[in-house]
Structure 1
Amino acid sequence: MSLSPKFEFLRSTGISELEIPTIVSRYPDLLTRSFKRRVAPVYNYIKGIIGAANANTLLRRGSWIFKLDIESRIVPNMDLLREVGVPQQFIKFALLNCTNIFFQDRVELKRVADEVKQLGFDSLKSTFILAIYARKGEGSVWDKCNGVYSKWGWSEDDIRMAFKKHPSCMLLSEKKISATMDFLVNKLGRESRVIAKSPRVLFYSLKERIVPRCSVVRLLVLEGLVEEDWNLSSVLSPVESKFLDKYVSRYTEKMPQLYDVYLSYKASGVLV
């Protein structure tokens, strides 16, 4: 079958001539899909929801959503999200960031949506979509994350609490979870189960944020400038400028080399 109509369709979307070879070389599987029965109908449908620019972004990613049948998967699931109260802005969010939730049939999506509602998630918030996306991974990523957290001493209640606070904590890699927990628990001396109360800290970069910030604060504790029971989230959550103001700049008179020490921690990523 000639590829010309497929290339012509890609041109018709507004994607530049220079981009098309890159897209095709990166995602050759895109050309194996039926443009008449799959790609074009899906593209035109989602373009009406998220706009041409965002639809083109999904094409550039070679999104698997273009493999789905519009009548049996995408439309029924889209209708279901609306029925359970998901606002249009978060339906757009789902299409762009959590497209895998459309892979399941309507019955399964309804089951998962009902489950996350029972867990207390509000369908008017983006966390509802993230929770569905995470629960959709049950049996794979979900079970692996559950197993890793359990190994670090989290109870089922701890895991449920962390999930409700930050659903994406059940989408992290085993390596990321273990490395972060190892630093916070074994090197920093934090109680493992306490981290379940602030699961957002698991998402920060060990090298760029967690290690250098915690190392600097530990030095301040040793110098008697900061209390030992400092709050992990209050140290890791602020933007860089606010962290520097609160934990570096204000102590430079007493510790003139503190900023240089902080930079050395960032460079090495190792707790000293």
Structure 2
Amino acid sequence: MFAAICRRRLAFLCPQILPAAGGGGGAYHPQPNPHAALLLHTYSTTAVAGGDSSSEPCPDTVSYLVSCGLSPAVARQTAASTRTLRIRSTEKADAFRALLRSHGFSDADVARIVRSAPLLLTVDPDRVIRPKLEFFASMGFEPNKLVYSPLLLARSLDKHIVPCIQFLRGVIGDDDEIRRGFSRLPRALMVNIDNGMRPAVEALRRHGLSKGDISKVLVIQLGVLMLSPQRIGEIFEDLGTMGIGITDRRFANCLRAMCSLKRETWLRKVALYRSLGLSESEVFEAFKKQPTALLVADDTIRKKARFFREMLKLEMKDVMVNPVVVSYSLEKTILPRCAVLSVLVREGKIKPDIRFPNALIGSAKTFCEKYVNRHAADVPDVIDAYEGKIEFKGFGAHLV
């Protein structure tokens, strides 16, 4: 019933976006959305990083933000950072929160949206917000993905969101694939078609990608649409330097990772790994195997390199043979697994000639089945070790 209502309303609002019987389609007539335009203008002209020290935030506004789930400190910072935000009558704000909950948003989702886009509390939810939530629902998008890009709810449905979907249909084709791309990076739909999406797609074509290739790339990394043609050219150049051409099966995933980095950041990452003992070619080979290894923060890379060297007697050259390990969390994955292995070595359940980093590789389920569940009855300590209750202090004399 809900889906049918959505489709009827959307057929009236934007007939071209819904498939019509017999292949026909009505004309698309954009309508202005003054509420959204004002909201976006307010954000662009009044948001102040870190707050406005010259004025105190409205106490009523701070109090309301706290009722939304924000801590008092965060509520004050949020209210101070947006000078025009004043919540004295809570009718619209309450209706906005109720509308979100009726579309499946949790209290935590609502709090996150309020924190990142507090001015949404001041708009008319029925006129500005509801049509977009119904539109995304009719498309089969997961509404709570909007938590990561709530300002999409401030964009005009008729002048921006619908045309963006139409454009993506012309490039990607399949609505299921569009949904996949959206779920990975909702904020890509904030991009202007003429100034962002179209130039990016044309740049991909100029660098030799077919329509099918472009569709695959966008589904994997819709963020390509947020890049300038110049940056896209740099990425193709850097991938070519590494020997990754457009026919390489690893191309799409490597491109996906490169889109997350500025070029100076990429060059700095390569230099960092080289300072840890790898040659440039070894860095490139590691990137081809596990592109996310180059997305790890610099300080985290240094911290892990120090751990591998001091605690496991491994140099980064040895680690990067299996670079996925660098992508693992040190605290949540690597240390608990090392603690389990050290307990098993101590109890004689596994031989001390453990091959690192191979022993650390695999999903949580695989590791548990191999090392925790198999030995839990005889060595209960493995459970405590895996849960972080036994600190890993190295293998000492047990490791040869």
- Indicate whether the TM-score tops 0.5: yes
| Equivalent pair of 1:77/1:102 in contact (CA under 8 Å) | yes
* 1:268 CA drift (Å): 1.7
Please name the residue that 1:162 is paired with.
286
Deviation at 1:178, TM superposition (A): 3.3
Q: Is the 8 A contact 1:212 1:271 kept in 2?
A: yes
CA shift in 2, pair 1:139/1:115, >3 Å: closer
Question: Secondary structure of the residue that 1:268 maps to in structure 2?
Answer: coil
The amino acid of 1:190's aligned partner reads L
Alignment of 1:211-250 (within 5 A): 211-221=335-345, 223=348, 225-228=350-353, 230-233=355-358, 235-240=359-364, 242-244=366-368, 246-247=370-371
Residue 232 of structure 2 corresponds to residue 109 of structure 1: yes
Query: Higher relative contact order at CA 8 Å, sep ≥6: structure 1 or structure 2?
Result: 1
Residue 135 of structure 1 corresponds to 258
1:187 matched to 2:311? The reply is: yes
Contact 1:221 1:228 in 2 (8 A): no
Separation of aligned partners in 2, 1:104 and 1:266? 42
Q: In the aligned structure 1, how far is the partner of 2:130 from the partner of 2:180?
A: 16
Name 2:383's counterpart in structure 1: 263
Matched residues in 2 for 1:135 and 1:24: separation?
A: 24
What corresponds to 1:119 in structure 2?
A: 242
Tell me by how many angstroms 1:174 deviates: 2.8
* Aligned residue in 2 for 1:14: 137
Q: State the TM-score, normalized to the length of structure 1.
A: 0.73
Number of corresponding residues: 263
**Which residue is equivalent to 1:46?**
168
**Cα deviation digits, residues 168-223 of structure 1 (max 9, x gap):** 21112234423433332222221222112211111223344322322333444554
Over the aligned positions, Cα root-mean-square deviation in angstroms equals 3.9
Residue range with higher mean Cα deviation, 128-137 or 59-68:
59-68
Alpha-carbon distance change, 23 to 236 in structure 1, aligned in 2, over 3 angstroms: closer
Once the two structures are TM-superposed, the CA of residue 271 in structure 1 deviates from its matched residue by 0.9
**Could you tell me whether the CA contact under 8 Å between 2:164 and 2:193 is conserved in 1?**
yes
| Residue 209 (structure 1) aligned with residue 333 (structure 2) | yes
Give the TM-score normalised by the residue count of structure 2. Answer: 0.53
* Contact 2:344 2:382 survives alignment (8 Å): no
Which of 128, 152, 176 pairs up with 1:30? 152
2:185–2:222 contact (8 Å) kept in structure 1: no
Which residue identity lines up with residue 385 of structure 2 in the other structure?
Y
The 8 Å contact of residues 328 and 334 in structure 2, kept in 1 or not, is answered as yes
Q: Which residue identity is paired with 1:267?
A: E
Query: Does the aligned pair in 2 maintain the 1:6–1:31 contact within 8 Å?
Result: yes
CA, structure 1 residues 101+206, in 2 after alignment: closer, same or farther (shift >3 Å)?
same
Q: Secondary structure at the match of 2:266?
A: helix
Q: Give the 3 Å change call, closer, same or farther, for CA 25–195 of structure 1 in structure 2.
A: closer
Give the letter for the 2:353 counterpart: E
Larger radius of gyration: 2
Percent identity, aligned pairs only, is 20
SS of the aligned residue for 2:278 comes to: coil
Letter aligned with residue 388 of structure 2: S
Q: Which ranges of structure 1 fall in alignment gaps of 5 or more residues?
A: none
CA deviations 1:20-79 (Å, max 9, x no partner) are: 7x7778745325545444332112222452644564677678833223232453234335
Q: Distance in 2 between matches of 1:6 and 1:243?
A: 45
Is the partner of 2:188 in helix, strand or coil? Answer: helix
Greater per-residue helix proportion: 1
Report the alpha carbon displacement of residue 7 of structure 1 after superposing the two structures with TM.
4.6
Give the one of 184, 200, 210 matched to 1:77.
Answer: 200
Paired residue for 2:302? Answer: 178
**In structure 1, C-alpha distance between the alignment counterparts of 2:216 and 2:303, rounded to whole Å:** 30
- Give the aligned residue type for 1:40: V
1:95–1:127 distance in 2 versus 1, CA, 3 Å:
same
- Aligned residues of 1:94 and 1:129 also touching (Cα < 8 A): yes
Query: Deviation at 1:128?
Result: 1.5
Question: Cα distance 1:246–1:24, how it changes in 2: closer, same or farther (>3 A)?
Answer: closer
Runs of 5+ consecutive residues of structure 2 not aligned to the other structure: 1-33, 37-126, 394-400
Q: Give the structure 2 partner of residue 152 of structure 1.
A: 276
CA distance in 1, matches of 2:371, 2:129: 57
Distance 1:98 1:242, change over 3 A: closer
